[in-house]
Amino acid sequence: MANYQTHLNGGVLIGAAAALVSGGLGMVNAVEMPFVALVGTWGGLAPDLDSDNSRPVTIMFTYATIVVPTVALWRFPFLHDSLMEGAIAWLIIASIVRGPLCLALKRLTEHRGIFHSIPAALIFGCLGFLWSGRRVDDIPLQTAIGVSAAAGYFTHLVLDEIWAVDFEGRRLKKSFGTALSLWVPSKLVTVLAYGLLAVLGGLTWEGLGGTRPEGLWEDGLGDAPITLAQDAWQRFRSLMESVL
Ligand SMILES: [Zn+2]
């Protein structure tokens, strides 16, 4: 397995390339280019979230604890009607990422499981695409972010496979074929991964055509669920106001 530094270098390289190419193609502007590069770098590190080696995992979670709630506030404007409300929403999401999500990942994943697979790389790309835009104008940026994320992730898998080749002994190590795989030994996990990929892939496809997931939701279920979520948040807000 390639080490953390190798993956960091690979991720930075791919992220920078994605930023330069998307910038050159006019898909993103100068302010957005560093984000494209960062997402690619993150993709280069993300598959090892399943490892028990604590340092890289801690670094990635620290990064996610800051980035995920910040992007969520931007992605869902109703979360920040006021500065105070935004701050509370940020804290709640950050503690979910750092607490339950981090624990679940550590408990539920095994090293070189589904995180080291081709469907996982595509899921990561779709998530990047879906989270990085909320307007039709955002599609070029979303595409750049999604491609950078998937390319960084894919590079990690390739590096892991390259490191599985024992060049001096000219033979393959036992780990060969466990990173760039299409499935894992557990059928259930494999089916769940492809199910998730089908849903996110479908949403990404609709997104490329200009339809937001929120729009599909409203078409299918009416705006009741969104109103419900907003109502719940309103109620929580008034509760907070009465306590503070
Ligand atoms: Zn790895």
Give the Å distance between the CA of 193 and the centre of ligand 1. Answer: 18
Here the tokens at position 92 are 């709640």
Q: Tens place of pLDDT for every residue, the chain, 244 residues?
A: 568 888 999 999 999 999 999 999 999 999 999 999 999 999 999 998 887 666 777 888 888 899 889 988 888 888 887 888 889 999 999 999 988 988 888 777 777 788 899 999 999 999 999 988 888 788 999 999 999 999 999 999 999 888 876 555 556 666 666 778 888 888 888 899 999 999 999 999 999 988 888 777 777 666 666 677 778 878 887 887 787 6
Degrees (nearest 5) of the Cα angle 230, 232, 233? Answer: 65
Rounded distance from Cα 65 to ligand 1 centre (Å): 21
Which residue in this structure is represented by tokens 């991720």? Answer: 11
Q: Which residues pair with 181 in a beta bridge?
A: 117
**What is the value of pTM for the model shown?**
0.82
Cα 2 to middle of ligand 1, angstroms: 7
pLDDT at 90: 94
Interval between CA 47 and ligand 1 midpoint (Å)? 6
Burial of 55 (0-12, 13-18, 19+ CB in 10 A): exposed
Evaluate whether 134 touches 212 at the Cβ level (below 8 Å).
yes
d(CA 18, CA 23): 8
If you measure from the C-alpha of residue 95 to the centroid of ligand 1, how many angstroms do you get, rounded to a whole number?
26
- Tokens linked to 123: 């899921």
* Dist CA 86 CA 29 (whole Å): 27
> Between vectors from CA 156 to CA 150 and to CA 158, what angle results, nearest 5°?
100
C-alpha 172 – ligand 1 centre gap (Å): 16
Q: Where are the domains of the chain?
A: 4-243
